[in-house]
């Protein structure tokens, strides 16, 4: 929803709720128009990278509550495979959406092609407590020729445990740039090309900085 309706300064929770004619009614814009802030982040990446997902098939690795999933659906994806290691995390609204194929309690590191059964126009990756490097190779198995990957790099899970600062924050610009370069080099070794990098928006300034990398296959680059 783009916003929420308030009457007499109280949130309206039922569509058939009635109020006197003199009660003030207003619509307050929802600062996070998705089930999670992840949708806000991915929307910025899709816009910045000029990615059109209309009518396409997508795989979201690390779906969690479903911010990326909802963003992809609203952008016009025909179908989204949502994969997560946890259970009962995906928002009920998305869980009941026929365009979403949910695969819970699944470690994406060990995904085989038959687990999904089709190739993707776009693959998105947002995982925590594990290096992105461990997810790129499994993801490539599902990438259709000319397809793309948008992966979220989280430096705090890429640097050594003793290189993370107070509060789990990585502030050192040199360390962050080294992480990004290592990830780009690793991706190239797998046959995908880093096309662009974008710093992701942060819900809170004190949170770690995160970065989207847009990848394409080498075949696409050579055409």
Average model confidence (pLDDT) across the chain: 88
- Please name which of 32, 37, 28, 86 lies closest in space to residue 61, comparing C-alpha atoms: 86
Region 93-98 average pLDDT? 95
- Exposure string over 38-64, b if 16+ CB within 10 A, otherwise e: bbbbbbbbbeeeebebeebbbbbbbbb
Q: Does the pLDDT value for residue 156 go beyond 50?
A: yes
Task: Kindly state the tokens that stand for 152.
Answer: 């979220």
The domains found in the chain, sorted by start residue, are 1-30 (no CATH), 38-222 (3.40.50.150)
pLDDT at residue 75 in the model: 97
Task: Kindly state the tokens that stand for 211.
Answer: 């970065």
Tell me the pLDDT tens digit for each residue of 167-201.
Answer: 678 888 899 999 999 999 999 999 999 999 999 99
pLDDT at residue 223 in the model: 45
pLDDT at residue 170 in the model: 83
- Inter-residue contact 149 to 192 (CB < 8 Å): yes
Q: Does the pLDDT value for residue 11 go beyond 70?
A: no
Tell me the pLDDT tens digit for each residue of 102-149.
Answer: 999 999 999 999 999 999 999 999 999 999 999 999 999 999 999 999
Q: Does the pLDDT value for residue 9 go beyond 70?
A: no
């Amino acid at each position: 929803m783009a916003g929420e309706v308030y009457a007499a300064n109280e949130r309206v929770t039922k569509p058939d709720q009635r109020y006197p004619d003199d009660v003030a009614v207003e619509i307050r814009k929802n600062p996070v128009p998705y089930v999670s802030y992840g949708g806000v982040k991915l929307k910025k990446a899709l816009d910045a990278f000029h990615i059109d997902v209309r009518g396409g098939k997508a795989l979201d690795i690390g779906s969690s509550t479903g911010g990326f999933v909802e963003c992809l659906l609203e952008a016009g994806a025909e179908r989204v495979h949502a994969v997560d290691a946890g259970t009962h995390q995906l928002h009920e609204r998305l869980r009941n959406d026929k365009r979403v194929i949910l695969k819970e309690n699944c470690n994406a590191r060990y995904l085989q092609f038959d687990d999904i059964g089709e190739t993707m126009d776009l693959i998105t990756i947002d995982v925590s407590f594990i290096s992105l490097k461990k997810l790129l190779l499994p993801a490539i198995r599902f990438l259709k020729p000319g397809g793309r990957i948008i992966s979220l790099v989280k430096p705090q899970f890429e640097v050594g445990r003793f290189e993370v600062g107070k509060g789990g924050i990585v502030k050192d610009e040199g360390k962050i740039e080294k992480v990004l370069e290592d990830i780009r080099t690793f991706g190239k070794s797998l046959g995908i090309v880093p096309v662009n990098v974008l710093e992701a928006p942060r819900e809170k300034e004190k949170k770690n900085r995160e970065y989207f990398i847009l990848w394409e296959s080498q075949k696409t680059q050579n055409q």
